[in-house]
Amino acid sequence: MATLLKNATEIQKGKNKKSKDNATAGPSEEKTYKPRKDKTLLLCSRGVTQRMRHLMRDLEVLLPHTKKDSKLDTKSSLHLINELADLHSCSNTLYFEARRHEDLYLWLSRSPNGPSIKCHVQNIHTMDELKMTGNCLKGSRGLVSFDGSWDNEEHTKLLKEVLTHTFSVPKTSRRLKPFIDHILLFSLLDNKIWFRNFQIIEKDPLTPTGPPIPSLVEIGPRFVLNPIRIFEGSFGGSTLYSNPEFISPAATRASIKRDAGQKYKIRKQNEIERDQRQKRIREELPEDQLSRKKVFA
């Protein structure tokens, strides 16, 4: 009997020791886990239009982990943005670069070591312009969703990773509200990135007492990103990927003006040829008997 009691006490002591070890090991394991603390710096260059400014405002509302800065005066020394990101403790950067007051380019960079992506922004439609029926809570956390075509090539995998770090809101954001009620969708079509924002609706508004039927309603904004070049560093460095199908909008406008000038040149050339042909015909015809020279000779 004494041996049984001795064995039972030893087993109980062993259990207590394991529980203490687990209790002491628990916080240490939790300390090793470091939550993601990504912040995104949002800024633009001089010369942005009203539509571009409204698009920036919509993205600032959708991403509560962004920090907005004033306009950047220079367009050649983009490496200064890395210093601004360091001052604001931001690891990602969204920089909108306006050219000729009509072309908008978007830089997505991982500061300060890269990589960075330069895209041309097309088909911009803001929230105020679309007037969609969807609505979401300001400061809520959105799900970042990608379709299945992003894992086919290496440069699309890199694009997916940069977009995930830039647009996904971490749990440690101060302005974040503990709700997930919208989805940020990035679709890859025709080598372009199509951005859409949808609200998650749990119940059908026509039958509020019925069973929950999840559905999506678009909120806005809408825009399309055409990737131009992927750089190894932040706002510079060696080129990892270059889009061979991209044609700058300035070159497109120049070709349209060149075609219009070519049409004008052809029309004027036809007028000159017509005048020369009529003059030659008049010279080849015999002189009329009732001409002024013969009547008043």
For the chain, the structural domain boundaries read 40-251
pLDDT value, residue 52: 92
Residue 293 is predicted with a pLDDT of 73
- Higher pLDDT: 171 or 231? It is 231
Q: Do residues 234 and 113 lie in contact, with contact meaning Cβ atoms separated by under 8 Å?
A: yes
pLDDT, averaged across the chain? 83
Length of the chain: 297
Q: What is the pLDDT of residue 16?
A: 53
Q: 61: which 2 tokens? A: 């509302």
Q: What is the pLDDT of residue 6?
A: 45
> Would you say residue 270 has pLDDT above 70?
yes
Q: Is the pLDDT of residue 296 over 90?
A: no
Q: What residue type is assigned to position 104 of the chain?
A: L
Residue 23 has pLDDT above 70, yes or no: no
CA-CA distance, 71 to 250, in Å (whole number)? Answer: 23
Mean per-residue pLDDT, 255-272: 87
Among the ranges given (6-10, 199-203, 225-229), the one the predictor scored with the smallest mean pLDDT: 6-10
pLDDT at 95 over 50: yes
Q: Side chain identity at 90, as an amino acid letter?
A: C
Please write down the HEC assignment for all residues of 28-63.
HHHHHCCCCCCCEEEEEECCCCHHHHHHHHHHHHHC
| Per-residue pLDDT band at 54 (split at 50, 70, 90) | very high
Q: Ranked by mean pLDDT, which of 20-24, 137-141, 184-188 comes out on top?
A: 184-188
**pLDDT at residue 145, as a whole number:** 92
User: For position 34, what pLDDT does the model report?
Assistant: 66
Give which of 107, 105, 117, 113 is closest to 158, Cα–Cα. Answer: 117
Mean pLDDT of 75-103: 90
- For residue 164, the cross-strand partners are none
* ∠ CA 45-97-184, rounded to 5°: 115
Please determine, for residue 18, whether its predicted confidence score (pLDDT) is greater than 50. Answer: no
pLDDT for the residue 5: 38
Residue in this structure with the two tokens 């978007």, named with its chain if needed: 106
Assign residue 175 a region (left: φ > 0; alpha: ψ between -120 and 50; beta: otherwise): alpha
CATH number attached to the domain at 40-251: 3.40.50.10480
How many CB atoms lie under 10 A from the CB of residue 196? 17
Which among 156, 214, 154 is positioned nearest to 186, based on CA atoms? 156
Query: What pLDDT sits at residue 10?
Result: 57
Whether the predicted pLDDT of 9 surpasses 80: no
